[in-house]
Structure 1
Amino acid sequence: MSQKSFVWLCLLPLAVVTTAFFLLPMARLVVVGAEGPHGLAGYLAILAESRYRATLINTVLLAAATTIVTLIVATIAGMFLQRHRFPGRAVLIALLTFPLAFPGVVVGFMIILLAGRQGLIGDLSNRVFGEKFVFAYSIYGLFLGYLYFSIPRVILTIMAAVQKLDVGLEEAARSLGASPWAVQRDVVLPALAPAFVASGAIAFATAMGAFGTAFTLATNIDVLPMLIYTEFTLAANFATSAALSVGLGLITWLILALARSFSGSAVAAAG
């Protein structure tokens, strides 16, 4: 067997899987989205119709807020965990990354147990203030759920990036009289910028398309995954749900593509 034939034989499983599980379903999705009464113009519904546009704005703002807070928390925790050794460190890292094993529905159920009508926060607030604080089913509960599964993904990327930093640059800055904050601001954070972009893009994309948590919690707020689900299952509006799915996919893909252009291969590594 020639080397060329061997290469094509090795690529055959990849071609079959890519065609069967990506190209054909995506092509079918695009075709169904254009089969509605408005044809290809149905793809503009996500921007033209007020309900869909408001849902898109809610989804983007929620994903952006999740990404920003996740980066702040994960950066502080990741830098500390990577540069300090103490008893129980391995256990703490395992606990912080444990949510990666949970599906979205489980995360949503945990938020309900924490901030639902029978949740821990409601019981404590009722005892202290005489009133239950319930926010599990609002945008705040959904935001908390998104944080729960976003932080573990980002913290691992940040820890890996911190491990690769050149400590000599920080020592040189300190020897020149830079304060600890100046070293972090002028040396460490700029060096971590590609990791921020890569992990932030992954967190944003995950929050944009998260369904399980939204399905459990999003009773008082519309987000795109839930809108697509209701259009498909309750209204049997296949064309609109397909068009919204393509729109959601394009927005998420654009964010990932922009992040990849800024940070190179780090996005792929973060995924």
Structure 2
Amino acid sequence: MRRDTLRLLALLLPAGIFFAAFFLLPMVRLFLIGGSGKLGWSAYATIVTNANYFSSLVATLAVAAATTAATLVISGIAGVFLQRHRFPGNATLVAMLTFPLAFPGVVIGFMVIMLAGRQGLIGDITQMLGADKLVFAYSMAGLFTGYVYFSIPRIILTVMAATEKLDPKLEEAARSLGASPLRVVLDVIIPGLKPAFLSSGAICFATAVGAFGTAFTLATRINVLPMTIYTEFTLSANIAMAAALSFVLGAVTWAVLALARTAAGTSVAAAG
């Protein structure tokens, strides 16, 4: 027994060293820097009491939550359909839907500008139809569009993998008992995919909370926490406040991921 314990410790040691070096120590250092400024440890309370910081935090969480909800709906429907229906061009369509994984945030920001910017396609179409030129790339709506675009691949692949493990006999049994297609979706498919939705949704939320490149490209009228941190660090040279904001952002993201992991469990329900 003692030898097995030593072997287990030997196997866990590299992971422990990696965790301490690249996560624990940097987070501790960030936390200490956050309390080293003029405001001291009250800098962490300032995030809530300062109107600008608080509105930035709320806007960040709101756009991340909206992005997660929209992406789960779009990717959930598309993922189940593409996994259950094979047709010519299926693989090509899946590849196109997952292609945004190759794009950095700045590129996605420029794509949103080309779509809904001052010279964008949507504005040209609305003008052709006789309406005012529609421009929303430089607002939270533009940021939301970009976030949904690069979040779809992260969820759709997870949904497709989870759908493949669903037992089709459960759906057949529900139909044989008189369940409508809607009831099959609500009572069989969605509960079966719940762990996949929770885990991929948490990753989507965390990615949207911390995304910087897209927000930086579209930052004319956008006030989200990554941009606030950038401003505090580069323009105001307020390193302590930037560190405090970064720590809070990291803590919120970690909490969401931990809760989702706990709720999702370790297996996919209704798997065959």
Q: Which amino acid aligns with 2:121?
A: L
What is aligned with 1:216?
217
| Cα 1:266/1:251, change in 2 over 3 Å | farther
* 2:215/2:222 contact within 8 Å kept: no
1:50 is displaced (CA, Å) by 1.0
What is aligned with 1:127?
128
Identical columns (%): 61
Find the residue that maps to 2:67 and give its secondary structure: helix
What is aligned with 1:58?
59
Q: Which amino acid aligns with 1:61?
A: A
- Higher deviation after alignment, 122-131 or 107-116: 122-131
What is aligned with 1:171?
172
Q: Deviations over 1:152-209 (max 9, x none)?
A: 1011111111111111111111111111111111111111111111111111111100
1:88 matched to 2:89? The reply is yes
1:132 is displaced (CA, Å) by 1.9
* 1:139/1:218 contact within 8 Å kept: no
What is aligned with 1:41?
42
Structural mapping, 1:149-164, within 5 Å = 149-164=150-165
- Partners of 1:242 and 1:31 lie apart in 2 by 9
- Partners of 1:12 and 1:202 lie apart in 2 by 27
What is aligned with 2:103?
102
Unaligned runs of 5+ in 1: none
Structural mapping, 1:169-248, within 5 Å = 169-248=170-249
What is aligned with 1:144?
145
Runs of 4+ off more than 4 Å: 2-13
Q: Which amino acid aligns with 2:220?
A: T
Find the residue that maps to 1:218 and give its secondary structure: coil
Q: Which amino acid aligns with 2:87?
A: F
Structural mapping, 1:245-260, within 5 Å = 245-260=246-261
- Partners of 1:236 and 1:162 lie apart in 2 by 49
- Partners of 1:153 and 1:116 lie apart in 2 by 26
- Partners of 2:6 and 2:259 lie apart in 1 by 36
* 1:30/1:243 contact within 8 Å kept: yes
1:61 is displaced (CA, Å) by 0.8
- Partners of 2:266 and 2:36 lie apart in 1 by 37
Unaligned runs of 5+ in 2: none
- Higher deviation after alignment, 177-186 or 224-233: 177-186
- Higher deviation after alignment, 82-91 or 211-220: 211-220
* 1:105/1:212 contact within 8 Å kept: yes
* 1:60/1:208 contact within 8 Å kept: yes
Q: Give the aligned length.
A: 266
* 2:114/2:120 contact within 8 Å kept: yes
- Higher deviation after alignment, 236-245 or 34-43: 34-43
How high is the TM-score relative to the length of structure 1?
0.92
- Higher deviation after alignment, 110-119 or 230-239: 110-119
Q: Which amino acid aligns with 1:150?
A: S
How high is the TM-score relative to the length of structure 2?
0.92
- Partners of 2:266 and 2:104 lie apart in 1 by 27
* 1:33/1:42 contact within 8 Å kept: yes
Q: Which amino acid aligns with 1:205?
A: A
1:73 matched to 2:70? The reply is no
